Structure formats: structure tokens, C-alpha cells
Structure 1
């Protein structure tokens, strides 16, 4: 909730850092955490240029295996009409240099 309103209030967002973790079991975790389709929907509603998933390699809070959210996000992108270059799914420990001036990696 609130992604569309935030995008309207703050247009031109370059990077959306969206949590993609701890969403299984869904019956329990849906109150606290978005699953992959919900996170991508939020990204689209926000209108940001790039999606950077966060927290998926940080703590084991849900029942999904380590690294699963990153893989599930990649699979979901492939099944949708979405440009995969809009998503930067980093490896655990990877450092990503971003430039706020031109909105590029």
C-alpha cells in the first residue's frame, strides 16, 4: 500500500529499494512481507526507474531457502512483460555503485 501515492508525491524516483524476503509461509507472513508479485506491483506503481531487491540475503526469517527470493524474482520477471534490465539482483556481498545524477549503474 502507498506505492502509487508515493510515486505521485515524489515523481522521478531513480532507485526503488524494496524488501523481497520472508514471505513464506504466505498464510502467516503476508501481514508483514510482500511476496515477489506484490513487490513488482509496488515497483510499477511507484514509477521508479530501477528495482533493487533488499534483505533477501540478510536473515533467515521465512521458510524459503537461502537465495530463493532472488531466484524467484528472476523467474517472475521472465514470465512478465517487464524489461529485466530494470532489476538489479545482486549477489550476497556484492557492492553496487549507483549514480543519482543520471540514474544508471
Structure 2
């Protein structure tokens, strides 16, 4: 049986930075289309949000992520379109918009 209670985990600032970098790589550098499943995961987005909250950069990091990032927007859209081509099946517009939004997180959507 899975326990859904919150857990406590102590991380050093270095570990926080490393995890944030790994998630950012997954979302905005990894070209494998299979990575979309993880890049848009609500659980990974939630964990990333918690990492931002406890990061020493604090509000500076939050301000950075509130802004649009054109290069990341183009990368995510390109990866989604590549997945559609590989599967030879386009996503419905609403599904594609949701995948885009979740994969783009923590940045603002255009």
C-alpha cells in the first residue's frame, strides 16, 4: 500500500541545485521525445516547485521562472511536434496545449 503522507527529506544547497539542473535538462535539453512523459509530469513539476521554495536563491529564482523563455518554448514545442511525427498522429489541440504548458513549467506560458 502506498503512503501518500508528506515525507521529510533534508537536502544540501548543492543537492537542490543538482536536482534542479537535472529537471531543467530533462525539460529543456533532452531531445528524446519519450522524455515528454517526465518533463510534463505533475509530480516532477510539484517536486521542482518545492525545490524552488527551499532554494537559497529564493525570490530571485521565482522571479526568473515567472518570465517567458522563448528558447525553452520553441524547444518544448519542437519536441512535441517531433513526437507527433514519430507516432504519425497529431495530438488534439487541447491536449497539445496542456502538454506544452506542463512541459514548460516552471516558466510562464506564451
Structure 1 length normalisation: TM-score? Answer: 0.30
Bigger Rg over Cα: 2
Structure 1 or 2: more helix by fraction:
2
Structure 2 length normalisation: TM-score? Answer: 0.30
- Relative contact order: is structure 1 or structure 2 higher (C-alpha 8 Å, sep ≥ 6)? 2
